[in-house]
Amino acid sequence: MIFIINESILYNEEEGTLMHVDNASNKIALLKPTSRLLSLFIKNNNKLLLRERLLNDVWVDHGLKASNNNLNNYVSGLRKSLAQFGAEEIIVTYPRQGFKFTAKSIHEANENKDEIYRKEQQREVEIASTPPPGNSPPGIRRALQRLIMIAAACLVPFAIIVLYQNSTRISVYPLGNYQSCQVYSMTLGGGSLENIKQVIQQAGFNCRTRADVYYYANILNESTNQDEQQVTYCPRSGNSPCIKITI
């Protein structure tokens, strides 16, 4: 499902990505818990979600260890991601209770795409049915109209494919490999591959099998009001859950 938040932020729930509706190249990839958190907020917009429900729905139901510190960190990270689209105040904290998502508008993007596609087809047909200027014979006019309609029918799907391919670009930044682990930074210029290798070794993450490691810089810990760094290890095999540690 794809949602448009406040008419400016496009959230692809399946991919777990955020982007501006007018700029497909500037896309932010969310970690899986962050994506589940945002989906829950969107489906309960303007409703206070208690901490216990958030912990259960985002972590416990997916076989992960839940803690208030985890919740604070991921809400903080989500706020920073949304702030890049001018929505830094969209998540409201209720001390000791929970959080409320306060978007002014949320709707599914698929409905918009269908309407745009329908209007585009209608416009192309209207253009094709307009007689060309001059005194061309009727047979030539009809042939030209058919040619325009065929060209329009071919170009519209092609344009949709190009837009889709551009919209699936994700702004994660590869740092390199450690054994069979592919290491990424979630911010441009963030993190050192050598430092993250040491963290992987100290945490005992298994990089002899294929996995992805994501580095997040400057995650605010609301309990200490200090920025922290996080590394998330996600095995590619089976349904093994991702493991997050704070540096």
Q: Are residues 140 and 63 in the same domain?
A: no
Split into its structural domains, the chain has a count of 3
**Chain segment 82-92, per-residue pLDDT in tens:** 998 888 899 99
Instruction: Assess if residue 115 is contained within a domain.
Output: no
Q: Are residues 161 and 184 in the same domain?
A: no
- Rounded to whole angstroms, the Cα distance separating 45 from 246 reads 29
* Residue 87 near residue 105 (C-beta atoms within 8 A): no
**CATH at residue 30:** 1.10.10.10
pLDDT band at 22 (very low <50, low <70, confident <90, very high): confident
Q: Of the given ranges (42-56, 146-160, 168-182), which has the lowest mean pLDDT?
A: 146-160
Q: Are residues 86 and 23 in the same domain?
A: yes
Range ranked top by mean pLDDT from 62-66, 93-97, 134-138 = 93-97
Instruction: Assess if residue 113 is contained within a domain.
Output: no
pLDDT at 38: 96
DSSP, residue by residue, 189-215: T---HHHHHHHHHHHT---SS-EEEEE
pLDDT band at 246 (very low <50, low <70, confident <90, very high): confident
List the domain range (segments joined by +) for residue 191. 173-246
pLDDT at 6: 94
Q: Of the given ranges (12-21, 35-44, 237-246), which has the lowest mean pLDDT?
A: 237-246
* Residue 41 near residue 30 (C-beta atoms within 8 A): no
Instruction: Assess if residue 114 is contained within a domain.
Output: no
In this model, does residue 157 exceed pLDDT 60?
A: no
- Rounded to whole angstroms, the Cα distance separating 109 from 19 reads 13
The predicted model gives 235-240 an average pLDDT of 74
- Rounded to whole angstroms, the Cα distance separating 235 from 45 reads 32
Q: Are residues 84 and 140 in the same domain?
A: no
The whole-model pTM stands at 0.48
Sheet of strand 17-20, all strands in order from the earlier edge strand to the far edge: 23-29, 17-20, 9-12, 2-5, 106-108
pLDDT at 120: 47
pLDDT at 23: 79
Q: Are residues 30 and 85 in the same domain?
A: yes
**Chain segment 77-129, per-residue pLDDT in tens:** 999 999 988 888 999 999 989 999 999 999 987 645 455 445 445 555 555 55
| Encoded amino acid at 31, one letter | L
The predicted model gives 172-196 an average pLDDT of 83
Tokens read off for 21 = 């509706």
Backbone angles phi, psi at 50, to 5 degrees: -70, 155
Q: Which residue has 């429900």 as its token pair? A: 53
Q: Torsion angle, CA of 12/70/185/240, rounded to 10 degrees?
A: -70
pLDDT at 167: 42
Q: Are residues 38 and 99 in the same domain?
A: yes
pLDDT at 111: 47
Q: Are residues 30 and 66 in the same domain?
A: yes
In this model, does residue 24 exceed pLDDT 60?
A: yes
pLDDT band at 184 (very low <50, low <70, confident <90, very high): confident
Q: Of the given ranges (15-19, 79-83, 117-121, 170-174), which has the lowest mean pLDDT?
A: 117-121
Instruction: Assess if residue 112 is contained within a domain.
Output: no
Q: Are residues 31 and 95 in the same domain?
A: yes
